[in-house]
Amino acid sequence: MTFIDQLIDLDKSLLLFLNGSDFLFLDGFFLTLTETTTWIPLFLSMLYVVIKNNNARRCLILLGLTVLLVVATDQFSSGFCKPFFHRFRPSQEPSLDGLVDMANSYKGSLYGFISGHATNTFAIATYFSLIFRNRRTSIILFIWAMMSSYSRIYLGLHYPGDILAGAFSGTIIAILFYIIFNLLSKRFCIQKENYSSLFTSTGYWIKDFLLLYIVFFATMIFLVCAGLYYTYQH
């Protein structure tokens, strides 16, 4: 058995260990968590922080690069990697038929390497952590990214290896986009410096992150309610 074969077997073993559960509550929790629409309020709170703390030109650069970042990570994961590597999702893998727990019997598309969810969420978490430079906000963003990524394993749609490769790729792409943002910002925007403890090192008013925290914890309460409702319905 080659080293690659050993890695694949380890990946399958980890998947079967981490995938699914016997609790309907967790099924409902992760089915809701994995939906992008669930996190729209969090994205809007981040947009609020960006708009409130930047002038129009800097906002345009930052948000324009954010859109391009999401497009780039999506195209890299789904447009390049999945068609290139042709690795079946766990839910589509014949050798795992009947072994993978799928909460709602949704199997997804045929191929799963690398995970688009992991690539996108870790890219956004990394990019805005570098932009905001606020420890608590970074922790929340990476908790969101990790939870979103794990939901794909729980639902049987990705192997742990898909997630790790996606997270790594998203992080690297985000760092590159942050470098581009810094170059464009220095070229086209007046740099403001804040030495007050009320601001982050990149000039964001720390109190403005309070809304983001409230929205995140409200979303977590919503997820708990969704899990309870799913349990009641089934």
* Rounded Cα distance, 159 and 89, in Å: 7
Q: What integer pLDDT is reported at residue 192 of this predicted model?
A: 60
Q: What are phi and psi of 124, to 5 degrees?
A: -65, -45
Q: What integer pLDDT is reported at residue 104 of this predicted model?
A: 81
How many C-alpha atoms does 43 have within 13 Å on its Cβ side?
Answer: 12
Token representation of residue 123? 């890219």
Asked if residues 127 and 174 have their Cβ atoms less than 8 Å apart, the reply is yes
174: left (phi over 0), alpha (psi -120 to 50) or beta: alpha
Q: What are phi and psi of 199, to 5 degrees?
A: -125, 155
Choose among 150, 110, 128: nearest CA to 20.
Answer: 150
Q: What integer pLDDT is reported at residue 196 of this predicted model?
A: 73
Instruction: Kindly report the pTM of this predicted structure.
Output: 0.95
Token representation of residue 63? 């948000």
Domain boundaries along the sequence of the chain: 21-90+108-233
Q: What integer pLDDT is reported at residue 102 of this predicted model?
A: 87
Distances (CA, A) of 185 to 41, 176, 177, 190: 27, 14, 12, 8
Place of tokens 């570098």: 130
pLDDT tens-digit profile, the chain (234 residues):
688 889 899 999 999 999 988 899 999 999 999 999 999 999 999 999 999 999 999 999 999 999 999 999 999 999 999 999 999 999 999 989 889 998 887 888 899 999 999 999 999 999 999 999 999 999 999 999 999 999 999 999 999 999 999 999 999 999 999 999 999 998 887 666 666 788 898 889 999 999 999 999 999 999 999 999 999 998
Q: Which CATH class is domain 21-90+108-233?
A: mainly alpha
Q: What integer pLDDT is reported at residue 150 of this predicted model?
A: 97
Q: What integer pLDDT is reported at residue 70 of this predicted model?
A: 97
